[in-house]
Structure formats: C-alpha cells, structure tokens
Chain A
C-alpha cells in the first residue's frame, strides 16, 4: 500500500462520540487526501492537504475536520459521530499534478451505532 498506514483499521463507536482516524505515510508526498467509500457512491473526497497546516475541503466535508502538523501524518476527526458517517475511510497520497497517481492506504472501517 505504497508506504501508507491507517489506524485504527476497524472501529465501532456510538453516536455523538468524537473519533479520530490517522493516516501515516513514509513517502514524503506533499499531498494527502481523505476519502469515504460507500456502496453506490464510489469514493468521495472529504478533505485534502497540500502541505503542513495547509488543508482544504472536498466534496463531502460537512461533519469532518482535519489536521496536518507533520508531513507524514494527516488526521481526520469526526467531532460528533453520526450513523450517516458509518463508512470505509481511505487515506491517499499523491502529487499536485492532475496526472500524478494517487496511492491509497488499506482503509479504516468505521461503524457508528
């Protein structure tokens, strides 16, 4: 998985609790992304980062926040988890050019009860 790890790999939590997912890369890529994958929707971009402390919103950012304090780590936080945020979350790394490949991590399966 191209030097990308995600933790935890599985998590079950309750509605209203905060959740933080971590993405760690060893490739020194400038760009990092968080996607969610749901049946019938493919993958949808939540947030991305183009450098330390530089982040921006994606297609489905409501209810999520991100932080990047080091090049290698990109955190996704659900401040107050809802059942609609039950999903598989993938981190990806890549370059700035539109033809740069995005490499995906192994994913985190999150269940919000």
Chain B
C-alpha cells in the first residue's frame, strides 16, 4: 500500500503554463515533505521541501502548498519552461530513515 499517492502520472503544458502536481498521504506522523526532480539517466535531486507547520513555501518559480487537515500537498511551477521537463516525485518522512515516495509525475513543457 503506497503511503504517498501522487497525481497525475503525466502532465503536458505549454511554455509559460502552471503545472500542478498533487500528493496525498495517510500517516499523520510524517513531518517532512520534500519534492525531488529527476532528469533521464540521473538521480533525483531535491527541489524544495516543507514542514507541516507552514502552509506555503516558495523558492524561485517553485511553490509548495500544504494542507495539513486534508493531508495533501502540491507543487506548482510558475512560468514553466521546456527545461523543467522532468519527472517529479513527492515524498514524506517522519525520520530521515524512512522516506516514502509518490509514484512520480512525468512533466513535459512544450515550447
């Protein structure tokens, strides 16, 4: 049973659009929610992360929105660019030894 459910599986947007990727979790003990970006042939790289005491976090064009009561969090990419085309993974952990990942979203940004 996947503890972190991610949607959609794939997403295609035009350059400048705002793709939104959603994740939901069950375990209320989770206290750290990172997003990873992965390019083909590479390992995942941390993009942005949030703690549950914050409802929103922005870093450049990337924003995490967090809804603790609904146990949901999402990634928004503002002014998306073709270079943002990658697979994005949400994750959740309650200690760094047990991080659970979503299944991933393949994002394509068309020029």
Contacts and interface: CB of A to CB of B under 8 A. Distances in A.
B61 interface: no
Interface string A95-113: 1111111111111000000
B96 A43 contact: no
Given A44-B101, A56-B97, A98 B46 contact: no
B102 A94 contact: no
B53 to A, nearest CB: 12
Give the interface size bracket for A toward B.
20 to 34
Interface in B1-49: 2, 4, 6, 31-32, 34, 36, 41-46, 49
A48 B96 CA distance: 10
A42 B6 contact: yes
Interface in A18-68: 31, 40-45, 48, 50, 56, 58-59
B72 to A, nearest CB: 17
Contacts of B41: 106-107
Give the interface size bracket for B toward A.
20 to 34
Contacts of B43: 1, 4, 90, 92, 104-107
B106 to A, nearest CB: 10
B59 interface: no
A42 B104 contact: yes
A50 B100 CA distance: 18
B44 A31 contact: no
B35 to A, nearest CB: 12
A56 to B, nearest CB: 7
Nearest to B32: A98
Contacts of A94: 96
A98 B103 contact: no
B95 A98 contact: yes
B97 A50 contact: yes
Interface of B: 2, 4, 6, 31-32, 34, 36, 41-46, 49, 51, 89, 91, 93-104
The 5 closest A-B pairs by CB, nearest first: A104-B43, A42-B101, A43-B101, A98-B32, A42-B103
